[in-house]
Chain A
């Protein structure tokens, strides 16, 4: 199937989002305080699980119960949750905390991928970036791309897909740029007037990066509902005609004919003339 670059038509748009969903490698989901991205992350996780993939989630920001909420049993059975929420820094000293701290947990999540297609969801990449050096995270993500060779020297399995949730406002241009350069696709969430939209930037090998903007919504059962083209500007209110500010003034804004003639014949001070 030949990919289309920045297609402008109904089927082209849906293809763009489908191609993002089919991409392996790192997919960044950038959200903001106003437009949260966790529900999109969960929708993509659900899609991957229903597609037969095993999904490993490194959960730092919400509890396992909260993350699994909304998924049915088919999805939940394929979802392995690595809990970094309850005790990430080992303050409770009960020994339940993952060994090696957050970095160890990230590496373990990446290694646990078994045979068959695997999706790793990082919730969130921002949490890790605030506590671990950017270089260590980038190395772990790169190692994911390399390590999926089958033992015994057989043909390499399908590369792992990593979905990373990134909170846009929290990081400077350095870490953002570093992750962008590693990512195969970036989905930036925004919206107008209650309608969420996603700007998708895809980097395919040997092609120019393509941009697309789509409206979407996440249904209560966490399926993704694509609504086609870019968000429209909010319509001006049809019941209120535009107000002309020059009506109903108590003073006169217009010039009479004599006043206009006097104005036109005035010599401006900075214009040189023979009289001055």
Chain B
């Protein structure tokens, strides 16, 4: 089970989220998507361009979708016996994200009958930085990911992909703790950055790929690669630095 960390700085890294969502759905994995930023239809429209139908996946049980924007309202207007996954929105001093973890656990737990309808479970989160804006502390978010790692990655050999924003602001201590804390636990870090020289029509940004093995010694090899990219309607094209077709 691997933890992949997506982070963006000075640019919008959500194209990576859309990529991993369609990638894992096409690979026949069971996916739990905690979508706090956009609506279901937004992800569905982009998913269709990438060749997957989220509606169909949700109906057949392959995709469990927590639509943060819609269900956050339920926290206030519906009284439920068991805590809502976004219960922390309601309580003044929410200490932890245990209800959200329990939701993920329930969504991805293997079927009792032992029949594996899908391949490995996958948790996708878009994104974790917004939890800080909603009042959770960095350690609470780290604890949530810790428990998800212990269950999804270690116990069920699944994967986790999470997006965190890098504000580049050294004053934002909570976000830095979250970003660095997660980086130390990740096996793969994909950093999307805007170009240092500013906005460009033909090169949308730069992607840095860093492989980490948190506990195995690394042989001498390229641990990090950098590519530049351009986002198109149905795909993203990558090229080596300075080699954009528009420039050559």
Q: Is the CB of A63 within 8 A of B216?
A: no
Near A by CB (< 8 A), chain B positions 139-189 give 139, 142-143, 146-147, 150, 154, 176-177, 180-181, 183-185, 189
Q: Which chain B positions have C-beta within 8 A of A69? A: 215-216
Taking CB as reference atom, which chain A residue is nearest B146?
A88
Q: Which chain A positions have C-beta within 8 A of B51? A: none
Taken together as a complex, chains A and B put the C-alpha atoms of A222 and B150 apart, in Å, by 25
Q: Is the CB of A63 within 8 A of B154?
A: yes
Q: Is the CB of A170 within 8 A of B180?
A: yes
Taken together as a complex, chains A and B put the C-alpha atoms of A42 and B216 apart, in Å, by 9
Q: Tell me the B residues contacting A by CB distance below 8 Å.
A: 96, 98, 101, 139, 142-143, 146-147, 150, 154, 176-177, 180-181, 183-185, 189, 210, 212-223
Taken together as a complex, chains A and B put the C-alpha atoms of A91 and B100 apart, in Å, by 12
Q: Is the CB of B150 within 8 A of A61?
A: no
Taking CB as reference atom, which chain A residue is nearest B222?
A194
A263 on the interface (CB 8 Å rule)? no
B1 to chain A, nearest CB (A): 10
Q: Known A-B contacts: A39-B215, A130-B139. Give 15 more (CB < 8 A).
A: A33-B183, A33-B189, A61-B184, A69-B216, A70-B217, A87-B150, A88-B143, A88-B146, A91-B101, A126-B184, A131-B139, A170-B180, A170-B181, A194-B223, A219-B217
Q: Is the CB of A66 within 8 A of B215?
A: yes
Q: Tell me the A residues contacting B by CB distance below 8 Å.
A: 33-34, 36, 38-39, 42-43, 61-63, 65-67, 69-70, 85-89, 91, 126, 130-131, 167, 169-170, 194-195, 217-220, 222
Q: Which chain B positions have C-beta within 8 A of A66? A: 154, 215
Q: Is the CB of A70 within 8 A of B180?
A: no
Q: Which chain B positions have C-beta within 8 A of A43? A: 217
Q: Which chain A positions have C-beta within 8 A of B150? A: 63, 85-87
Q: Is the CB of B215 within 8 A of A38?
A: yes
Q: Is the CB of B212 within 8 A of A33?
A: yes
Q: Which chain B positions have C-beta within 8 A of A91? A: 96, 98, 101, 147
Taking CB as reference atom, which chain A residue is nearest B181?
A170
A164 to chain B, nearest CB (A): 15
Q: Is the CB of A194 within 8 A of B217?
A: no
B47 to chain A, nearest CB (A): 31
Q: Which chain B positions have C-beta within 8 A of A194? A: 220-223
Taken together as a complex, chains A and B put the C-alpha atoms of A220 and B221 apart, in Å, by 14
Q: Is the CB of B96 within 8 A of A170?
A: no
Q: Which of A61, A126, A218 has the most CB of B within 10 A?
A: A61
Taken together as a complex, chains A and B put the C-alpha atoms of A69 and B215 apart, in Å, by 9
Q: Is the CB of A33 within 8 A of B221?
A: no
Taking CB as reference atom, which chain A residue is nearest B150?
A86
